[in-house]
C-alpha cells in the first residue's frame, strides 16, 4: 500500500465497518481512500488513479465532480438544504416530479419519495398491499418474485429478493413469498433464442398467477437485467406477457428499475423495450446522476385514488423517511435529467455500447468464458471452470476477487459479482477508456483462471 494512503487506512479500520464486506479481507486488500473524482476516474491519496468501470456501484451516470451537476447542487445549497416534505414542499421536488412523469411510461403520474432503493421497494410493497386492503380485498397480501432477483437489503426488500448469499441467514425474519423460476437466458438450451427461452419460462409465472392471484398483491421484477444476481438478462417479451397476465389476474406489477433505469439498458427505462407500463416503478441509483441518495416510487392515478379519502377513514399511506425528497438530491436529479436532454445521451450511448460490446465479445473464445452478454451499457462476462458444461468454479475459490485485485493494480475498478466480470461504466467514458477496462479484464481473467 502506498504510504500516503496508509494513515487513512489505519484510521478507517479502527472504526468504519464497510458494507457488503467480510472485514477480515481487508488484512489482505485494504480499503482504498479516495481523495477526489473527475469524470470516469477516481484518485487516491497517493495520486493513483482508478477507472470507475462500475459507476461506483451502478449509481454514477455523468462522471464524478460533473461541473453541471456540481453547479446545480451548489446553487440549491445556497437556497435550501432540507425541509420537511409533509405539509411543506419545494420547487426542486415539484419540478423533478413533473419531469419524471413526462419521461415515464404514460399513466405513472404520481411520485412518492424515499431516500434509497431498498426503501423505494418497501414503499411499493406496502402501497400494493395497502391498495388491495383499501379497495376491500385484504386477502391479497402475498408477493410473487423471480428466482435470482435482488431488490435491496432491508427486511421487506430482502424478502422479495432471491440472492441466497444475502438472504439465507435472515430467513426467519422475512415474510414468505412465492418464487418463480427466472427467465434468465444464460439458462437457455443450445439453439434456443432469448425470446424463445423467456417466453417458455413464462409458463411458470402464468401457473403461479393462476394458483395465487386470489392472495397475491403484486409481482415484482427487475426489468431485463437481474444485476446483483450476476447481470443475468432476459428478453422483453417476458415483460409484455407479464403485463398482460397481471391485468388478467388483477395483480399489480412492480418494476424495480433502480439499477436499470436512466439509460442503462439502451432506453431511458427498461420497461420501454416491452412497451409496458407497470403499476409501480421504483427508481434510485442513477436518479440523481449518482450524486446523492434519493428514490421514488411512481404509480398510477387509480392507485393514488384508493388512498384519497377523509382522514377518519384511516386509509392514507402513512409512510415517511426523514430525508424524503431532499432538495439537494432533487436539484442533482434535475441537473442529470437536463444533461440527458441537452447532450442526447441515449444516442451517444449507442455508439459507446456498440464499442464496449464488440471489445468484450473478443473474450467469448476464452476457454474459461461461458458467455459474454449485453444489454445497452451493461456487459457481463461469465467466468466458468468448464466451458463446455458451464460448470462454475467452486465459490470459495473466489476467482472474481482475483480479477478485482488485478484490476486495481492496473488502475481499473472492476468489481465482479461472484465470477461474473461486468462493465457498467459512467456515460462519460471514452472508447479508449473502454479499451483499457476490457484489456485489464482480459488480463485479470487470464490470471484468475490459469491455476
Ligand X SMILES: *Cc1c(COP(=O)(O)O)cnc(C)c1O
Strands (E), 176-315: 178-180, 216-221, 225-226, 232-233, 252-256, 280-283, 295-300
Virtual torsion, Cα 153, 129, 212, 233, nearest 10 deg? -40
Supply the minimum distance, in Å, between the C-beta of residue 284 and ligand X.
5
Q: What grid cell was written down for 97?
A: 416530479
Supply the minimum distance, in Å, between the C-beta of residue 441 and ligand X.
21
Contacts to ligand X from residues 223-252, by CB under 6 A: 227-228
Which is nearest to 124 in space by CA: 151, 93, 104? 151
Q: Quote helix, strand, coil % in the chain, to nearest 5.
A: 45, 15, 40
Q: How many CA atoms lie within 13 A of 276 on its CB side?
A: 26
Residues in the chain: 451
CA distance 142 to 109: 25
Of 127-135, 170-178, 253-261, 363-371, which segment contacts ligand X by CB under 6 A? Answer: 253-261
CA distance 40 to 437: 11
Which CB atom, from 254 or from 408, has the smaller least distance to ligand X?
254
Q: How distant is the alpha carbon of residue 448 from its chain centre?
A: 27
Contacts to ligand X from residues 373-432, by CB under 6 A: none
Q: What grid cell was written down for 376?
A: 445497452
CA distance 196 to 188: 9
Supply the minimum distance, in Å, between the C-beta of residue 20 and ligand X.
10
Q: What grid cell was written down for 255?
A: 418494476
Supply the minimum distance, in Å, between the C-beta of residue 52 and ligand X.
16
Which CB atom, from 228 or from 378, has the smaller least distance to ligand X?
228
DSSP 381: E
Please say whether the beta carbons of 55 and 425 come within 8 A: yes
Our finding on whether 222 is near ligand X (CB under 6 A) is yes
CA distance 110 to 98: 9
Which CB atom, from 151 or from 199, has the smaller least distance to ligand X?
151
Which CB atom, from 55 or from 134, has the smaller least distance to ligand X?
55
Please say whether the beta carbons of 269 and 257 come within 8 A: yes
Supply the minimum distance, in Å, between the C-beta of residue 264 and ligand X.
10
* Alpha carbon distances (Å) from 125 to 18, 157, 159, 294: 28, 8, 11, 18
| Closest residue to ligand X in the complex (CB) | 117
Supply the minimum distance, in Å, between the C-beta of residue 227 and ligand X.
5
CA distance 43 to 232: 31
* Alpha carbon distances (Å) from 20 to 25, 57, 153: 11, 12, 10
Of 88-96, 145-153, 343-351, 416-424, which segment contacts ligand X by CB under 6 A? Answer: 145-153
Which CB atom, from 121 or from 292, has the smaller least distance to ligand X?
121
Of 90-98, 150-158, 182-190, 202-210, which segment contacts ligand X by CB under 6 A? Answer: 150-158
Find the binder of ligand X among 64, 140, 151, 264 (CB under 6 A). 151
Q: What grid cell was written down for 53?
A: 468501470
Supply the minimum distance, in Å, between the C-beta of residue 294 and ligand X.
10
Contacts to ligand X from residues 254-313, by CB under 6 A: 256, 258-259, 284-285
Which CB atom, from 154 or from 240, has the smaller least distance to ligand X?
154
Q: How distant is the alpha carbon of residue 237 from its chain centre?
A: 20
Which CB atom, from 52 or from 222, has the smaller least distance to ligand X?
222
Of 9-17, 144-152, 339-347, 403-411, which segment contacts ligand X by CB under 6 A? Answer: 144-152
Which CB atom, from 37 or from 161, has the smaller least distance to ligand X?
161
Find the binder of ligand X among 37, 105, 152, 230 (CB under 6 A). 152
Q: Which helix (H) or strand (E) holds 338?
A: helix 327-343
Supply the minimum distance, in Å, between the C-beta of residue 10 and ligand X.
28
Size of site (CB under 6 A) for ligand X: 15
Contacts to ligand X from residues 78-137, by CB under 6 A: 116-118, 121
Contacts to ligand X from residues 176-215, by CB under 6 A: none
Which CB atom, from 231 or from 331, has the smaller least distance to ligand X?
231
Backbone φ and ψ for 368, nearest 5 degrees, come out as -115, 25
Supply the minimum distance, in Å, between the C-beta of residue 5 and ligand X.
26
Supply the minimum distance, in Å, between the C-beta of residue 126 and ligand X.
15
Sign of the Cα pseudo-torsion (303, 306, 309, 314, in order): negative
Q: What grid cell was written down for 217?
A: 398483491
Of 148-156, 167-175, 396-404, 405-413, which segment contacts ligand X by CB under 6 A? Answer: 148-156
Which CB atom, from 160 or from 363, has the smaller least distance to ligand X?
160
Q: Which residues bind ligand X (CB under 6 A)?
A: 116-118, 121, 150-152, 222, 227-228, 256, 258-259, 284-285
Amino acid at each position: 500500500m502506498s504510504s500516503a494512503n496508509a494513515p487513512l487506512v489505519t484510521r478507517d479500520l479502527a472504526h468504519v465497518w464497510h458494507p457488503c464486506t467480510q472485514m477480515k479481507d481487508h488484512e489482505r486488500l485494504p480499503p482504498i481512500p479516495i481523495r477526489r473524482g473527475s469524470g470516469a476516474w477516481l484518485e487516491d491519496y497517493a495520486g493513483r488513479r482508478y477507472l470507475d468501470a462500475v459507476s461506483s456501484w451502478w449509481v454514477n451516470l455523468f462522471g464524478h465532480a460533473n461541473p453541471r451537476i456540481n453547479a446545480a447542487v451548489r446553487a440549491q445549497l445556497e437556497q435550501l438544504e432540507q425541509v420537511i416534505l409533509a405539509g411543506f414542499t419545494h420547487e426542486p421536488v415539484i419540478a423533478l416530479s413533473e419531469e419524471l412523469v413526462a419521461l415515464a411510461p404514460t399513466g405513472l403520474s404520481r411520485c412518492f419519495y424515499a431516500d434509497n432503493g431498498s426503501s423505494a421497494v418497501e414503499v411499493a410493497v406496502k402501497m400494493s398491499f395497502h391498495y388491495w386492503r383499501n379497495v376491500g380485498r385484504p386477502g391479497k397480501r402475498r408477493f410473487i418474485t423471480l428466482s435470482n432477483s435482488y431488490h435491496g437489503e432491508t427486511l421487506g426488500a430482502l424478502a422479495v429478493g432471491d440472492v441466497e448469499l444475502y438472504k439465507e441467514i435472515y430467513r426467519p425474519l422475512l415474510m414468505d413469498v412465492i418464487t418463480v423460476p427466472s427467465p434468465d437466458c444464460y439458462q437457455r438450451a443450445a439453439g434456443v433464442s432469448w425470446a424463445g427461452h423467456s417466453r417458455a419460462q413464462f409458463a411458470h409465472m402464468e401457473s403461479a398467477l393462476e394458483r395465487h392471484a386470489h392472495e397475491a398483491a403484486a409481482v415484482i421484477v427487475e426489468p431485463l437485467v437481474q444485476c446483483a444476481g450476476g447481470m443475468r438478462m432476459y428478453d422483453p417479451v417476458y415483460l409484455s406477457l407479464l403485463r398482460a397476465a397481471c391485468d388478467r389476474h388483477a395483480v399489480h406489477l412492480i418494476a424495480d428499475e433502480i439499477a436499470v433505469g436512466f439509460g442503462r439498458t439502451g432506453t431511458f427505462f427498461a420497461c420501454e423495450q416491452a412497451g409496458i407500463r407497470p403499476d409501480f416503478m421504483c427508481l434510485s441509483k442513477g436518479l440523481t446522476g449518482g450524486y446523492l441518495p434519493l428514490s421514488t416510487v411512481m404509480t398510477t392515478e387509480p392507485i393514488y385514488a384508493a388512498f384519497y379519502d377523509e382522514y377518519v377513514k384511516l386509509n392514507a399511506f402513512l409512510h415517511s423517511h426523514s430525508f424524503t425528497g431532499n432538495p439537494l438530491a432533487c436539484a442533482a436529479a434535475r441537473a442529470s435529467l437536463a444533461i440527458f436532454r441537452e447532450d442526447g445521451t441515449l444516442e451517444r450511448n449507442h455508439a459507446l455500447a456498440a464499442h464496449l460490446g464488440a471489445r468484450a465479445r473478443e473474450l467469448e473464445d476464452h476457454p474459461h468464458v461461458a458467455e459474454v452478454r449485453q444489454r445497452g451499457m451493461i456487459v457481463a462476462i461469465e467466468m466458468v471452470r468448464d466451458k463446455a458444461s458451464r460448470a462454475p468454479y467452486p465459490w470459495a475459490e473466489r476467482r472474481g476477487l482475483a480479477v478485482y485485485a488485478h484490476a486495481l493494480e492496473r488502475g481499473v475498478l472492476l468489481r465482479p459479482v461472484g465470477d461474473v466480470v461486468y462493465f457498467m461504466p459512467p456515460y462519460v467514458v471514452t472508447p479508449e477508456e473502454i479499451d483499457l477496462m476490457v484489456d485489464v479484464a482480459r488480463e485479470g481473467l487470464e490470471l484468475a483462471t490459469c491455476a
